[in-house]
Structure 1
Amino acid sequence: MTVADVETRARVREQAQGVAAGWSGPDTPPSWALTAELFRSIADEPDLLELAAAIPLDRLPPLLLSAALRALVTRLAPAPLAGYFPVPGSGQPPLDEGFRPALVAFARENADELARLCAEHRYQMNEVARSADVVAVLSRLDPDRPIALVDLGTGAGLGLHLDRYRYDFGGRTLGTPDAALTLAPELRGRPAPLPARMPEIAARLGVDVEPLDLDDERVRAWLAACIPPETSAVDRFAAASEIARTHPATTVRADLVDDLPALCARMPEDALLVVVDTYVTVFLTDEQRAGFRRSLLELGRDVEWISVDPLVPLGAEGRESTQYLRVPPRALEATRGGVTGVIGHLSVRRDGTSSGEVLGLAHPGGAWLEWL
């Protein structure tokens, strides 16, 4: 093994440990244990780490391997391994000491197929619970002004349906009681704000380098495999997928840096342009990130950019906001403890001036929301 190989494995191990840390802790619900153990296994077990380390670092090796494992387990249904993973409406199966050896044996037996899946797919976590992080920021906007919503890295477009979900922030609610999906994150720190009412969405557009069609059964199966194996996350994805399929929204294949001006020009001028990115700009290069921000400043119209992204560089050493905002000490502290979303809001005015701030922190799977 070369020095480069050793360094790569160390970085992949650190990534896996960071994800595991985000699903661990003394106050986490029992249903989180499987996700934490899955990523600890990738970090600790040589067979799993070898598979992950063969994936280019910019393709999120631990996350991509976890999705490949789940996809193949779902397809082959091996006993007893398949029984550890929840399916919609099943609740969380119990986790015991048999999980890790069963996982390692399965990976060893199916190493070639797992490698193929990782080579042919990319990791896309369409976690609809992050919509609660975005809605909290909408409370800062004029509720009487319609918005034109642009969702970057939209994937399957679940984030385009903010107004079709119900939100429960510690008993304060937004949305119709009969909504098919309610998002109720645990609130930490100061009470997170909730708009008195949802702004009218006059237009909605999803942007992705690879938009995904939820009517394609194979696409749905892969996206389901990218969801953490936690019962509420599994149920949320199933419900949100049906909402998105019932209300098709426009999504386009485009580059969010190069094509941004032309895409925004398609949105109605009389609506407030709201650009949302959740776990997207964190994966751009420094040059791309700077170019994206510059494009927003040069649009010549009012823009509200809502970002829910970890600090960069991704990992425990993250220290900078993807929006180039001042990072409060609490955000740095949370980043050291595991992958954490940092909620930022940048307002851009027609003349190219801007102002913004980091507002809160969020669990990567939308389980909790901490307002600063």
Structure 2
Amino acid sequence: MTAPMTPREVVAGQARAVAAAWSSEDAPESWWLTAETLTAIAEEDVLLDLAAAIPPDRLPPLLLGAAVGFLVQRRRPALARFYPEPGGRQPPRDDGFRAELVEFARTERDALAQLCATHRYQMNEVARCADVLPVLAAIGEEDGRPLALVDLGTGAGLGLHLDRYHYTYRSEGRPDRTVGERSSAVQLTCEVRPGGAPPVPREPPVLADRVGIDVEPLDVADPHTYDWLAACVPSEAGAVTRFAAAAGVARADPARSVRGNLLDVLGDVVASTPPDALVCLVDAYVHVFLPPAELRRFDRILGELGRERDLEWISVDPLVPLGPEARESVQGLDVPAGWVRDVRRGGVFGVIGRVSIRGGLRTGSVLGRAHPGGSWLEWR
């Protein structure tokens, strides 16, 4: 009988899995800092001890990485030279980074522990909108009804403005396909891997309503909140620039948000949307972090709501449980066996799935998969 893994072993496995997603053979050089930080958390005792002390449901490797980035920006040690600024370039790889990171963690151990005890990890990666947009637009074209977007785990609400961004989908050997506001401050570029092509629409979908749900909706107009959310973004030049631009859009035109556990408030939120609208629930890297009992409860709630009105659920979530034992879609959809093997070899990607409920009848399918940072998309 195999002995259960220790908290250190579990956290180290999670950190390595996420690091692998940022260090593939075709990874751009700008990803090195994110990959190296997570690898260091898996391998360096001072960092691993800090991460292993964090409750498992608080995403230890990611939360600690965010705490390091936040404190680096506040303290401005020599280590800060490795971190990119919005609109700037990625500082080059430096073999001295690991040693400086370890020393910083040793010196700031108490401050890092305090940050991890008082904050939650919330990665507002606006690039994931490129995974959602084709699905949402296809739903709008098929159905014909106005759409009510309900963003689950909305955080700063950046996903609620996906119709206000400009998208470029690039495929090798094909012309670029673009959609959205060309003058938008948020410019998202996504590589489409060989195979099927996502249904890029001529125009973004028209939204009749937009509302976010989060246990702690976050106001990017608050300086401390903004700084923390910026620290949760991967330390990659494109990511920090996208976040700053999208936060500006959200500040200029705040969308409605509801505070509460999504399982407790979802029914009331759906009821608050226009009755003639098709409700589209969007979940990007939220359900992957729900315990199995809460996943089952969400499924029951979805079934109950689906008996009252038609619904769509778009999910962009890794296979669960997160880490090398991953095997299932959060939506209960069949996924290619090769994808499961890819995860177990060390890698994290979001499975793009769509579940539709019409007249109480539920159908669903897996549409593709995508990089956590939105850099590539593979359509089935």
TM-score normalised by length of structure 1: 0.96
In 2 relative to 1, CA 334–269 (structure 1 residues): closer, same or farther, beyond 3 Å?
Answer: farther
One-letter code aligned to 1:164: R
| Partners of 2:295 and 2:330 within 8 A in 1 | yes
1:195 corresponds to:
201
| Partners of 1:150 and 1:205 within 8 A in 2 | yes
1:46 aligns with 2:45: yes
1:118 aligns with 2:124: no
2:304 corresponds to:
298
- Superposition misfits of 4+ residues, deviation over 6 angstroms: none
The secondary structure found in structure 2 opposite 1:330 is helix
Picking from 188, 207, 219, the partner of 1:183 is: 188
| Partners of 1:188 and 1:369 within 8 A in 2 | yes
CA distance in 2, matches of 1:181, 1:310: 25
TM-score normalised by length of structure 2: 0.94
Structure 2 counterparts to residues 1-372 of structure 1, below 5 A = 7-79=6-78, 81-143=79-141, 144-170=144-170, 171-189=176-194, 190-299=196-305, 300-336=308-344, 337-350=346-359, 352-372=360-380
CA distance in 2, matches of 1:75, 1:311: 35
CA distance in 2, matches of 1:17, 1:228: 15
The secondary structure found in structure 1 opposite 2:263 is coil
CA distance in 1, matches of 2:358, 2:342: 31
Give, in angstroms, the shift of residue 197 of structure 1.
2.1
| Partners of 2:137 and 2:205 within 8 A in 1 | no
Of the structure 1 ranges 314-323 and 140-149, higher mean CA displacement relative to structure 2 is found in: 140-149
Give, in angstroms, the shift of residue 335 of structure 1.
2.0
The secondary structure found in structure 2 opposite 1:243 is helix
RMSD of aligned Cα (Å): 1.3
CA distance in 1, matches of 2:316, 2:167: 18
CA distance in 2, matches of 1:73, 1:197: 41
| Partners of 1:204 and 1:249 within 8 A in 2 | yes
Q: Deviations over 1:84-123 (max 9, x none)?
A: 0001112101121110000000000010000000000010
Percentage of identical aligned residues: 57
| Partners of 1:68 and 1:114 within 8 A in 2 | yes
One-letter code aligned to 1:229: S
Unaligned segments of structure 1, at least 5 residues: none
| Partners of 1:148 and 1:204 within 8 A in 2 | yes
Q: Deviations over 1:131-189 (max 9, x none)?
A: 01101212431334320000000000000001000111121111121111111111113
